[in-house]
Amino acid sequence: MDANVTYRLRKSYAFKGIVILLSVTCIVPLLFILGYIVKEGVTKINWELLVNLPKPVGEAGGGIANALAGSILIVLIAAVIAIPFGVMSGIYLNEHRNNRLSRWTAIAVDVLQGTPSIVVGIVIYFWLVKPLKTFSAISGSVALAIMMLPIVIRSTEETLKLLPSTLKEAGLALGLPYHKVILKIILPCGIGGVVSGIILAIARIAGETAPLLFTAFGNPFFSVNVLKPMESLPHLVYYYAMSAYDDWHNLAWGAALVLLIWVLLLNIITKITTRKWKIQF
Amino acid sequence: MIESATIDKQTSHSDLVLEDVSYLNRSIRIWKEVKFKSTDKNIRTEKMFRGSLVLISLSVLVLAIAFMLTLVVQSIPSIKTLGIKFLFGKTWDPVTNTFGAIPFLLGTLITSFMALFISIPFSFGVAILLGEYFPKGWFSDFMKNAIELIAAVPSVIYGFWGLFVLVPLVRSIEIKLGVAPYGIGLFTSSLILALMIIPYAATLGREMIRMVPSSLKEAAYSLGATRLDVIRTIIFPYAKSGLFAGVLLSLGRALGETMAVTMLIGNTSLMPTNIFSPGNTMASVIANEFTEAASTVYLSALIELGLVLFLVTVVINLIGKKIIQKFSVG
Amino acid sequence: MENTILKVIDFDAYFGENYVVKKVNIEIPKNNVIAVMGPSGCGKTTFLRCINRMHELVEGASSSGKILLNKDDIYDIHPIYVRQKIGMVFQRPNPFPNLSIYDNVIAGYKLNGIKIVKHERDAIVEGSLQKAALWNEVKDSLHKKGTFLSGGQQQRLCIARAIAMEPEILLLDEPTSALDPISTSSIEELFQELKKNYTLILVTHNMHQAARVSDRTAFFYLGELIEFDDTKIMFTNPRDARTQNYITGRFS
C-alpha cells in the first residue's frame, strides 16, 4: 500500500513539474521575440524616424511619419464609428434578453467575431473601395470598426448585466423617462466596464494588418485625406519587411518596435481601467 | 402641499431664509407646472430612443447578413464557371484560368492542425497551472499577463521576427534533414502559428477548470487521492467539453490567421508535398493575390476561398461558443 | 369615508397566465398610513406595483380594472406622469451610486431636464432631507456620493428622493426589511411625520410593524383583499376568520 502511495505521490509531483515546465516554456519564445524586436528596433528609433517619410531605396534616413499619423487617424475614426453602434447594441441586448431580435443579433455578433480579418477586408473592398474607385483610409476604418464591434457590444452587455435591476426600477419609479434612466443612471454606473471594453477593442485592432490590405492600402506619402489611401504602422512593417532592401528592413524594425510599444501601452491601459473601475455595490 | 407649519419648524442652517413661505409655495406650484412640461418632451424623446436602440441592433444583424450575402454574390461568377471542380481541383494557375482550391485547403489544414498539435500541450499546461495549481499569487499574475501578451502581439510582428530568425533556423534544420532548404514553408508557419494560438485554449481552459466545483475535488481528496488523481479523474472529465471548446477556439484562430502565415509560408500555389514544402493557406493566397487578380473569375475564385474560410471559421467558433454556453448553464 | 385619494375598482393583475391579484376593491383615505399585509405570495407587492404602474414593466405582465387617483384613471395617463405623482421606496435601499447625495435627492428633477434655479434647488434638497430626518447627518457632505451611508441612512435618502417630487402618494415596499432594528424604528417614526403631507401605502411582511405604524390595514390572502379596516379593529377584533388566523400566527 505504502509503495503504491509513494508512487502515486511521485507521479503527482512529477506532473506538477511537467505542467510548470510546459507553462514556462511558452514564455521563452515570447521573451525572445520581444527582446529581439527591442534589440533590432531600439537602434533605429530616433526623432528622424518619427518625423520623416520613407525614402526611396538607397537613400539614408527615412522615417515612418506617414504610417504613424495614418494609424492614429484610422484607428480613431474606427473607434468613433464603433463606439455608438457597439454601446447602443450592448444596451439593447442587455435590456431585452428574450425577444427574437436580440437572440438573432447575439448570433450576428458571434458571427462577426468569428470572421477572419482578411475576409472583413475583402467584403469592405466591395462595399467601399470598388464603388468609390479608390482605396481609402475611411474604408480601412470601417473594416476595423466592424472588428471592434463584437468586443464593444459584448463588454457593454456584460457590464450592464452586472448592475442590480433595482437601479433601473428606482429611476423609473421617480417618473424618469426610459432614455434618461439608461443614459444618466445605468450607463454612468457601468461606464468603467464600457470604457475598458472600448479600450480593449482598440488594443485588439491597433495591430491589425489584414483588414487594411485592400482598404486603406498604403501610401508612401504623408496624407490625412481620409478618402485616399493611407499608410498604417502594421502595413508598413509588412510591406517593408517583405521587401528585398536592407534600408527598408531597418525602417521596418523601427516601425515594429514602435508598433509593439503602442499595442502594449494600449493593453496596459486596458488593464488599469478594468481594475480601477470595478463596480462596487 | 407643504403646510406652512412644517416649514416654520425647519431650522435653516443654510443661507436660504425660509421665512417667506408664500414664495416657497409659489415656487412649488411653478415647479409642478414646469415639471410636467418637460415631461411631454421627454415622452417623445423616450420613444425615439427606444426606436434607435432597436434600429441599431437591427443594423448589426443586417451587417452580418450583408457580409455573408456579399461573399456569396461575389463568388457566383466562380461557382458558375468552375462549379464543383473548384473544390476538388489540385491546380491553381491564373494564367490558364484554372482554379483548384485543394492546395490551399491542404495548406490551411496542415498548418492549422500542426499548430494545434504543437500548442495543445502548452495550452493545457498553462490552463491546469492557472486553473488548479496557481489560481492566485504573483506567479499566477505573471503567467496570466505573459499569456495575454502572447495574444496581444500583432501577427505582423510575429511574421517579421519569423522571417529573420525562424526561417534561418528552420533552414538549418532542413539542411540537416536533407530536405530542400527553403526555410519558409508550412512547417515554419505552423511553428509561429502554434505560439500565437496558445493563449486561446489556455485562457478558456483555465476558466473551465476553475469552474469545477470544489466540493467534488474535496470529496476525492478525502478519499485519499493525490493531486494528479483529482486532475485525472475529477477535473478533466468535468471540464472536458470546455477544454474542447478552447481547442476549437484556438483552431478557429489558426484557420483565420493571415499575416504571420503569409510572411512565412512561401506563397506557392502548388500542392504541398511534405510539411517542409512552401505553400499557401486560403488566407495567405487571398492576401498575396487579391490585388493582382485581373479577371473576374480569378477575383471571384479568391472570394470563393474567402467564403469557404468564412464558413468554416464561423461554424467552428459558433460550435465552441455553444459548448461554453451549455457548460456555463448546466 | 373621509377624503379618498385612491380608489381601486375591480382590479386584477396577471403574470402571463398567473392570476395574482384578484378583483380588488379598496378606497384609500388621504394622509393616512395604510399597511398592506399578508403571507408571502399573497399578491400584496404586485398590487402595490400596479399603483405606480411598475407592474407592467415585467414582460408578460398585464392587468385590468380601474385605479383612480383623485378621479383620474391612472391607466389613462402616461406612466411617467403617474410615477411623478405616486412615488416608491424599495425594499433594498437603492440610491444612485454615481450621484452625490445632493444630486440623488434632486434626481427626479435634474435627470428629467427640469430647470430650477439654484436656491430653489437647495430648498428642495434641504426640505426633503429634513422631512426624511436625514438633513443633520448629511448636511456637511451633500456633495459626496452616498455609498458611505448606513443602510438606514441610505433608505432615508431614498425616501427624501421620492418625496422631493412632491408626490401625492408614497408607496413603500417592505422598506425596513433589509434594515437593522434601530434604523427600522427611526424610519417608522418618520411615517408619522410624513403622513401629514403625503399618503403612505406600506407593504410589510411583518404584521407587528403593520400594527405599530398604520392607521388602517389591508389584509391580502392568495391574491384577494380579505379585509380592510382601522388597524385597531383589525388586530383586536377582525371580521374574517382568515385575518384572525393570520394575526394569531396560524400561518405566515
- A43 vs C170, which has greater pLDDT? C170
Question: Mean of the pLDDT values across residues C51-60?
Answer: 90
- What's the mean pLDDT in A266-270? 92
- Closest chain A residue to the Cα of B252, Cα to Cα: A114
Q: Which of A61-65, C180-184, C223-227 has the lowest mean pLDDT?
A: A61-65
Contact status, residue C116 vs residue C103, Cβ threshold 8 Å: no
pTM of the model: 0.88
Q: Using the beta-carbon criterion (under 8 Å), do C123 and B43 form an inter-chain contact?
A: no
Same domain, A86 and A128: yes
A261 touching B (Cβ < 8 Å): no
CATH code, domain with C141: 3.40.50.300
Residue at C60: amino acid letter: G
Question: Across the interface, do A174 and C81 touch by the CB < 8 Å criterion?
Answer: no
Residues on chain A touching B233 (C-beta within 8 angstroms)? none
Rounded to a whole number of angstroms, the distance from the CA of A78 to the nearest CA of chain B is 15
Please indicate, yes or no, whether residues A8 and A87 belong to a single structural domain of this protein: no
Q: Is B4 on the interface with A (CB under 8 A)?
A: no
What's the pLDDT score for residue C41?
A: 83
Distance CA C196, CA C215 (A): 12
pLDDT tens for each residue of A242-261 = 988 888 898 899 999 999 99
Quick count: other Cβ atoms within 10 Å of Cβ A9? 14
Across A10-34, average pLDDT = 93
User: Cβ C98–A185 below 8 Å, yes or no?
Assistant: yes
Could you list the residue range(s) of the whole structural domain that residue C25 is in? 4-247
* The 3-state secondary structure of chain C, one letter per residue: CCCEEEEEEEEEEEECCEEEEEEEEEEEECCCEEEEECCCCCCHHHHHHHHCCCHHHCCCEEEEEEEEECCEECCCCCHHHHHHHEEEECCCCCCCCCCEHHHHHCHHHHCCCCCCCHHHHHHHHHHHHHHCCCHHHHCCCCCCEHHHCCHHHHHHHHHHHHHCCCCCEEEEECCCCCCCHHHHHHHHHHHHHHCCCCEEEEEECCHHHHHHHCCEEEEEECCEEEEEEEHHHHHHCCCCHHHHHHHCCCCC
| pLDDT reported for residue B18 | 40
User: A209 and A229: one domain?
Assistant: yes
Judged by a CB distance cut-off of 8 A, whether residue C114 touches chain B is yes
The string of pLDDT tens digits covering residues B181-212 is 888 999 999 999 999 999 999 999 999 999 89
Q: Indicate the number of domains in chain C.
A: 1
Residue C93 near chain A (CB below 8 Å): no
Q: Where are the alpha helices (DSSP H) in B211-258?
A: 214-222, 227-230, 236-256
pLDDT of residue B34: 57
In 3D, which of C28, C29, C18 has the Cα closest to residue C51? C28
Q: Is the same domain home to A132 and A270?
A: yes
Is any Cβ of chain A less than 8 angstroms from the Cβ of B76? Answer: no
A184 touches chain C (CB under 8 A): yes
Which of A174, A176, A185, A277 to probe by mutation at the C interface, max C CB count within 10 Å?
A174
Give contacts of A 161-180 with C, CB under 8 A.
164, 166-167, 169-177, 180
At B94 the pLDDT is 84
**Residue C252 within a domain:** no
Element (H, E) at C171: strand C169-173
C233-239 mean pLDDT: 90
CB contact under 8 A, C83 and A174: yes
pLDDT, tens digit, for every residue of B14-58?
333 344 444 455 555 555 665 666 677 788 889 999 999 999 999
Confidence bin at B91 (pLDDT 50/70/90) = confident
Give me the pLDDT at residue B327, please: 78
Same domain, A28 and A54: no
Calculate mean pLDDT across residues B89-102.
Answer: 86
Write the single-letter amino acid at B132: E
Closest residue of A to B263, CA-based? A242
User: Could you count the other beta carbons within 10 Å of the beta carbon of residue B170?
Assistant: 23
Chains in touch with C (≥3 Cβ pairs < 8 A): A, B
For residue C32, give the 3-state DSSP assignment: coil
Q: Which of A44-48, B61-65, C189-193 has the weakest average pLDDT?
A: A44-48
Cβ contacts (< 8 Å) between B224 and chain A: which residues?
5
A234 touches chain B (CB under 8 A): yes
Interfacial residues of B (vs C; Cβ cutoff 8 Å)? 1-3, 6-7, 10, 12-14, 16, 18, 24, 27-28, 31-32, 34-36, 38-39, 41-43, 46
Residue B4: the pLDDT is 38
pLDDT band at B3 (very low <50, low <70, confident <90, very high): very low
Q: Which residue has the higher pLDDT, B65 or B22?
A: B65
Q: Any chain C CB within 8 A of the CB of A25?
A: no
Find, among B115, B250, B126, B196, the residue nearest to A22 by Cα. B126
> Does the pLDDT value for residue C15 go beyond 80?
yes
What is the per-residue pLDDT for A185? 93
Residue A78, in any domain of the structure: yes
Query: Please, which chains are in contact with A (at least 3 CB pairs closer than 8 A)?
Result: B, C
For residue A247, give its domain range. Answer: 50-276
* pLDDT tens sequence across A191-237: 988 999 999 999 999 999 999 999 998 888 888 888 999 999 999 99
> Chain B residue with minimal CA distance to C129?
B10
User: C126–B10: do the CB atoms touch at under 8 Å?
Assistant: yes
Shortest distance, CA C29 to any CA of chain B (angstroms): 16
pLDDT tens digits, one per residue of A75-119: 999 999 999 999 999 999 999 988 899 999 999 999 999 999 999
Residues B185, B190, B195, CA angle at the centre, nearest 5°? 140
Whether C159 has a pLDDT exceeding 90, the answer reads yes
Tell me whether residue A281 is in a domain.
Answer: no
How far CA B217 is from CA of A13, B210, B211, B222, C30, in Å, comes to 18, 11, 11, 9, 62
Helix (H, G, I), strand (E, B) or coil at B173: helix
Residue C1: all three cell numbers together = 369615508
Most A CBs within 10 Å, among C46, C48, C80, C170, to test the A interface: C80
Q: What pLDDT is recorded for position B10? A: 40
Whether C154 is covered by a domain: the verdict is yes
Spans of all domains in chain B: 4-68, 83-329
> Considering CB atoms only, which of C80, C115, C116 is closest to B43?
C80
Interchain CB distance below 8 Å, B27 and C123: yes
**Residue in chain C lying closest to B31 (CA):** C116
Is residue A69, in this structure, part of any structural domain at all?
yes
Shortest Cα distance, chain A CAs vs residue C113, angstroms:
9
Q: Tell me, which fold does domain B83-329 have in CATH? A: MetI-like fold (1.10.3720)
